[in-house]
Structure 1
Amino acid sequence: MADIDPESVPSDFFTNTSVQSFSWHDLTVNVKDRKSKLPLTILDSCNGKVKAGQLVALMGPSGSGKTTLLNVLAMRSKVQWGGQVCVNSNSITKVSLRGLSRYVEQEDALIGSLTVRETVDFSARLALHGVRKEVRLALVQSLIKSLGLQKQQDTFIGTPIRKGISGGQKRRVSVASQLVTSPKVLFLDEPTSGLDSAASYEVMKMISEVTKRHNLIVIAAIHQPSTTTFELFDKLLLLSHGKTCYFGPIEQVVPYFEHVAPIPRQTNPAEFLLDLVNTDFTDMPSGKVDLEKIHDYWTKSEMHHSLQLMLVNEKPNEAGSLDHIQSSSHGSQLAAPMVLLHRNFIKSYRDLLAYGTRVAMYTGLAILMGTVWLRLDYTQSSIQPFINALFFGGAFMSFMAVAYVPSLIEDIWTFNKEYANGLYGPLSFMVSNFLIGIPWLLLITLIFSVITYWLSNFHQTAEGFWIWVLFLFLDLLAAESLVMLLSAIFPIFVVALAAIAFANGLWMSVGGFLVPLGKLNVFWKYVFHYIDYQAYVFQAMMVNQFKNTVYSCDLSGESSYYCMYKSDLESQGKIRGTAILEAYKYSSEDGKTWHWFGIMLAIIVGYRLLGFLALWARIRGSR
């Protein structure tokens, strides 16, 4: 990257020249109280206006409505709200606002196996499809330099098993990954959460400098900043019980409250104000100003009247009149799957939790299985061990797919963030995730099969080996698709893990091995057995092993034999393998194997489709 000059970025690329103001009019949120079932006001006629180049602190005690207000301003609220959000005095739709703004979540949803530079660059590639590579790389370097991350640009974000950058640096990376998409308005939810005073100051100082340099509009919900951090903001919006207590310049905070509740010298103004408007622990402590008095003072203040006059003079036009404003995203969304595929490929070989650990785990499992079921002979005493090995191979290969859950949930949380910022949709996510898994699952299948198949002495033909490989590969594809489905429904590690373990226990129980199909309860048989992918893997492997093999019976005397399964070879002291299949009610007719192959493909596609619908329903529900 030494040949990339950050100064080569077009001077006006980041700079906001199209969005001059962002305002909101009479924003109100009313919900029903869960306990009393009575109407509860979360936001009460909130108004405000921010100009380009300004950084606004949105403050208030817990339950004040600041997070709700931030989500309403970003049009990401899950509850119904009333009022108008405007850009340049024009009412704006959610779709239009998404094209102009970005939202940095309180939690850093970053991919731990990427470096700082790669994280920012992939965000740029997802958003700026029409920008030349040289310009894009220069943009990335420029932001990394602006946010003081040059020394960490080649450091990994960090995973549970690999140390990465600090919490403050992660915050800056989160901001950089949104700024690189060239937003006009930036929303920050608790950008200093979990950081110490020094780190909080450094993060907000960088954000303040970028805001001024590029003429952006930044609104940050922040909790109890230090005095030095508080002074970095241009404006303060102070909320309590959904009502505005103050909205104006930071430098006017102390003079304004002189007439309400004077802020003592050598006191952190932010801390004092939060304590002033907090009624969670006491209604009216000695010497504390009545909250109603603070609200009344604001509504009668000159600042409030000036704000109201300014908003009245705006006279918002109808939504849809902002076509002249340049969107933050450039180019076609068709490039997104390829970018995601590249990013997932890097993650797949760097993140040991994605596939590396699973390769080692399956290799160990193959050695275990091959040495436990070592060189089984073709006598009737080996028939049951062969059947047990077939069940163990298919069922436990499937069960161990739970190891993919941590990596997948990280991907889902990253998707949630990037979808909310309008970078790509669930189809791109599903396609790239599916494609990147295919070569790794094939590699795992081949390693496991080469070790196990020959050590255990399964049907020793090339056709038998490749049929085994095919159905084991389909088994893994189906298992990973099931993990995707359940993780999309329950994107919480412990819950997803429990759901997947339960599903695998169910499939093993009704697959036809633990309880033969002829003995299986009709409910479990007709409701679950026929959609159990492990059942088709087991059947195919059983047919592959027993269709063309013969087993010798035990001698029960000098010239007589005892055969566990009756077949036409009994008089010769042998058991034809098809007799074993008949006992399990499995068909060995030609073409049946490919019939099961088709069912497996249908199940895999079905899981992936349901996973897509689960993601789609979740993001629709969050609108």
Structure 2
Amino acid sequence: MNEAEHPGTDVEMNYTENAYLVNDTVTSFAWSNLEVIVQDRNTRAPLAILSNATGNVCAGEMLAILGPSGSGKTTLLNALAHRAAAANATTTGNILVNGHKVSLQDMRDLSTYVEQEDALIGSLTVRETVLFAAQLSLSHTVSRKEAFRRVDDLIAAFGLQAQTQTIVGTPIKKGLSGGQKKRLGVASRLVTNPKIIFLDEPTSGLDAALSLEVCTYIKEITRKNNLITIASIHQPSSTTFQQFDKLYLLSGGQTCYFGRVTGATSYFSRIGYTIPAETNSADFFIDLINTDLDKNGDICRRTIHICEAWKTSLDSRELDTALQKSMEGTSSYRDLKAPRSLSWRTPIILVRRSWIKSHRDVMAYGIRIAMYLGLAILMGTVFLRLKTEQSYIQPLINAIFFGGAFMSFMAVAYVPAFLEDLNTFRQERANGLVTPLSFMIANFIIGLPFLFIISLLFSVITYWMSNFRPSASAFFTWVLWLFLDLVAAESLVVLVSSIFNIFVVALATTAFANGLWMCVNGFLVPMGILNPFWKYVFHYIDYQAYVFQGMMVNEFGRRKYSCDEISDGQYQCNYPSDLNSIGKIRGTDVLRQFSIKTGEEGTWIGILIGIVAGYRLLAYIVLVLRK
């Protein structure tokens, strides 16, 4: 077993046949009188989207939350996991572990949540995916040695041994199948040693065979390790449905049935709804209460009857009595696991993972490098071999503007890669594995070497082709300004994408912001005549302005240009200078036309660093506020 198979590990890994063992201290998970209230959009009155939900699941059991679209499946699942059940919702009721109430932190320590949309990183292999999940959990509830032992056992338990070195899959390179991705998503969450698993639509997007495959593996893990598994599910096949032990049937946030899957058919027969022969029972139950298909009110009346029948049924009363007894004499939750404490190692682990993604996935930086190289060739061939004559002064200024402004504008290409990272962060944070600070630190660090490489490659091509000031110090100063430009531009992308985490909105907003910075950076309209509003409100916080000024000083601060000779000893100079009499123009006189002073480069660099820090700090605050 070599380092390539286990990146970033410094502990010897010994795998045993029964390494994945879960302490069976959680014997039951229950909830009673659970209610979720939101504000009606039209009337502004309180509206219950989940009412009087009650149920229980024991260790080793799987519960299916079933119902038509909009019935409240995900709302109930989120409420049980102590997540926000819905936007601006108020959740009330009791959630119990072994008969004791639990808090949000308790639930994070005990459970894991696998969302409908996976947060897998496409360029990682199967083993790396589970391994990094193990590393992130080391500082929480699992010892280092134990966590690494579990990696191969989990991969084997979910039937992924043959795919251990297969990447998950990217838009460019094919990897795992849909069913394998679902299994990997669950496996990577189980490495944190949860007692309770919440699954949101684990079979969505899969055909009947793959759905059965995924649920079979989950059931085997649940039974073998005495876990509690609760899954929302939509229209399962008959064989998939039979993998579950208990059923929670919902319609419009109301309970229609809770109990054993095997007892559901007889229960509905008792209240007057007999399932026809050779009919998928899951489909039959959903069709009974699917009010979306109601044309004349029959289904709505039938659903009301089914919900009322449940409230008065013997099964419901027995469930309420059992839960009431389990709550008597208990008021608080006793610790079943040590509390999680996030580690200083988390940013390092995230940097390692991001490094693998960045150099494998061409979508992250490869396409951007190719794009910038194309832009460099374009700029170098258009602004080719510019001379130190006054007729070339304006093209030189144009080239400086183009090199800085358009390089930063093209940072919009980073939006999709960051949104993918953000989605992974959001799901890992919800499971208590990553904090906004560790995510922001890792994201900032991993981008620096790539942005420097981009700056250097672009400059090697354009600087000498365009014939900017020919000295090593001037060249590396240009590289520095371009590097700071790209760091600021990428930080802007991070901020905007953190606020607007929808691709089209983030892309459009970032493009607009860069267009604004171009307009007020001092090139298109010199500072001397720029409208005071744009000057004092936006110019001084425009990172492109300081890059433009720095590049201008780098080119014109120590260079002279020749005027046009109109006759012997007579010159026509377009820029006033004390050297006009000898047919020369000082570069500093060109700078004066743009109200740019020399000797302030250090201040500008400090301001640029402050702008970068400001963007990152604001992005961090946004992530903190979006709990």
**TM-score, normalised via structure 1 length:** 0.95
Which of 178, 185, 192 aligns to 1:174? It is 185
Amino acid at match of 2:612: I
Partner of 1:165: 176
Q: Tell me, in whole angstroms, the C-alpha distance in 1 between the residues paired with 2:101 and 2:258.
A: 21
1:57: how far off?
0.4
Which of 97, 104, 108 aligns to 2:107? It is 97
1:332: how far off?
4.7
1:133: how far off?
5.4
Amino acid at match of 1:616: V
Which segment is superposed worse, 184-193 or 165-174?
165-174
1:7 and 2:16 correspond: yes
Amino acid at match of 1:549: R
Q: Deviations over 1:88-111 (max 9, x none)?
A: 100111111111111111111211
1:524 and 2:531 correspond: no
Partner of 2:380: 370
Amino acid at match of 2:625: A
Q: Tell me, in whole angstroms, the C-alpha distance in 2 between the residues paired with 1:457 and 1:296.
A: 83
1:267: how far off?
0.5
Q: Deviations over 1:525-547 (max 9, x none)?
A: 11000000000000011111111
1:308 and 2:320 correspond: yes
Partner of 1:156: 167
Structure 2: where are the runs of 5+ without partners?
3-11
Partner of 2:395: 385
Which of 40, 46, 49 aligns to 1:33? It is 40
- Cα gap change, 1:400 to 1:615, in 2 (>3 Å): same
Q: Tell me, in whole angstroms, the C-alpha distance in 1 between the residues paired with 2:349 and 2:162.
A: 26
User: Contact 1:511–1:534 (CA<8 Å) still a contact in 2?
Assistant: yes
Identity %: 54
Which of 5, 26, 49 aligns to 1:42? It is 49
User: Contact 1:235–1:248 (CA<8 Å) still a contact in 2?
Assistant: yes
Q: Deviations over 1:361-397 (max 9, x none)?
A: 2222222222221221101011001101100100111
Q: Tell me, in whole angstroms, the C-alpha distance in 1 between the residues paired with 2:112 and 2:338.
A: 11
Amino acid at match of 1:596: W
User: Contact 2:26–2:97 (CA<8 Å) still a contact in 1?
Assistant: yes
Partner of 1:270: 282
1:484 and 2:491 correspond: no
Q: Tell me, in whole angstroms, the C-alpha distance in 2 between the residues paired with 1:150 and 1:249.
A: 34
Q: Tell me, in whole angstroms, the C-alpha distance in 2 between the residues paired with 1:328 and 1:276.
A: 44
1:345 and 2:352 correspond: no
1:449: how far off?
1.4
1:490: how far off?
0.9
Amino acid at match of 2:108: R
1:557 and 2:567 correspond: yes
* DSSP-derived class of the 2:62 partner: strand
1:559: how far off?
2.3
Q: Tell me, in whole angstroms, the C-alpha distance in 2 between the residues paired with 1:320 and 1:581.
A: 71
1:191 and 2:202 correspond: yes
Amino acid at match of 2:182: R
Q: Deviations over 1:461-495 (max 9, x none)?
A: 22211211111110011011111111111111111
1:205: how far off?
0.7
Partner of 1:421: 431
Q: Tell me, in whole angstroms, the C-alpha distance in 2 between the residues paired with 1:134 and 1:74.
A: 29
- Cα gap change, 1:386 to 1:195, in 2 (>3 Å): same
Partner of 2:608: 600
Q: Tell me, in whole angstroms, the C-alpha distance in 1 between the residues paired with 2:604 and 2:478.
A: 13
Structure 1: where are the runs of 5+ without partners?
none
- Cα gap change, 1:289 to 1:578, in 2 (>3 Å): closer
Q: Tell me, in whole angstroms, the C-alpha distance in 2 between the residues paired with 1:510 and 1:285.
A: 62
* DSSP-derived class of the 1:143 partner: helix
User: Contact 1:188–1:221 (CA<8 Å) still a contact in 2?
Assistant: yes
Q: Tell me, in whole angstroms, the C-alpha distance in 2 between the residues paired with 1:49 and 1:237.
A: 10
- The residue correspondences of 1:367-516 to structure 2 (distance < 5 A) are 367-516=377-526
User: Contact 2:291–2:300 (CA<8 Å) still a contact in 1?
Assistant: no
1:132: how far off?
5.8
User: Contact 1:8–1:135 (CA<8 Å) still a contact in 2?
Assistant: no
Which of 292, 295, 303 aligns to 1:280? It is 292
Q: Deviations over 1:249-282 (max 9, x none)?
A: 1111111111120111110000000011122221
Partner of 2:27: 20
1:313: how far off?
0.4
Amino acid at match of 1:144: I
Partner of 1:217: 228
1:430: how far off?
0.3
Partner of 1:111: 121
User: Contact 2:290–2:299 (CA<8 Å) still a contact in 1?
Assistant: no
- The residue correspondences of 1:74-89 to structure 2 (distance < 5 A) are 74-77=81-84, 78=86, 79-89=89-99
User: Contact 1:184–1:328 (CA<8 Å) still a contact in 2?
Assistant: no
* DSSP-derived class of the 2:292 partner: coil
Amino acid at match of 2:16: E
Which of 296, 302, 317 aligns to 2:308? It is 296
* DSSP-derived class of the 1:239 partner: strand
* DSSP-derived class of the 1:14 partner: coil
1:125 and 2:135 correspond: yes
1:286: how far off?
6.7
Which segment is superposed worse, 136-145 or 429-438?
136-145
* DSSP-derived class of the 1:258 partner: helix
* DSSP-derived class of the 2:345 partner: helix
Which of 151, 162, 183 aligns to 1:140? It is 151
1:456: how far off?
1.2
Q: Tell me, in whole angstroms, the C-alpha distance in 1 between the residues paired with 2:356 and 2:326.
A: 50
1:557: how far off?
2.1
Amino acid at match of 1:192: T
Q: Tell me, in whole angstroms, the C-alpha distance in 1 between the residues paired with 2:266 and 2:435.
A: 49
Q: Tell me, in whole angstroms, the C-alpha distance in 2 between the residues paired with 1:469 and 1:89.
A: 64
User: Contact 2:124–2:168 (CA<8 Å) still a contact in 1?
Assistant: yes
Q: Tell me, in whole angstroms, the C-alpha distance in 2 between the residues paired with 1:23 and 1:187.
A: 14
Q: Tell me, in whole angstroms, the C-alpha distance in 1 between the residues paired with 2:339 and 2:220.
A: 20
Amino acid at match of 1:70: L
Q: Deviations over 1:71-129 (max 9, x none)?
A: 11011124111111111100111111111111111111211111111111111110123
Q: Tell me, in whole angstroms, the C-alpha distance in 2 between the residues paired with 1:598 and 1:319.
A: 56
Q: Deviations over 1:184-237 (max 9, x none)?
A: 111111110111000101011111111000000011000111110111000001
User: Contact 1:127–1:328 (CA<8 Å) still a contact in 2?
Assistant: no
1:580: how far off?
0.3
- Cα gap change, 1:132 to 1:40, in 2 (>3 Å): closer
User: Contact 1:92–1:319 (CA<8 Å) still a contact in 2?
Assistant: no
Equivalences, count: 613
* DSSP-derived class of the 1:140 partner: helix
User: Contact 1:91–1:317 (CA<8 Å) still a contact in 2?
Assistant: no
Q: Deviations over 1:492-531 (max 9, x none)?
A: 1111110110011000000010111112111111100000
1:61: how far off?
1.4
Partner of 1:253: 264
* DSSP-derived class of the 1:326 partner: coil
Q: Tell me, in whole angstroms, the C-alpha distance in 2 between the residues paired with 1:387 and 1:419.
A: 47
- Cα gap change, 1:133 to 1:44, in 2 (>3 Å): closer
Structure 1 stretches of 4+ with a deviation exceeding 6 A read 2-5, 285-289
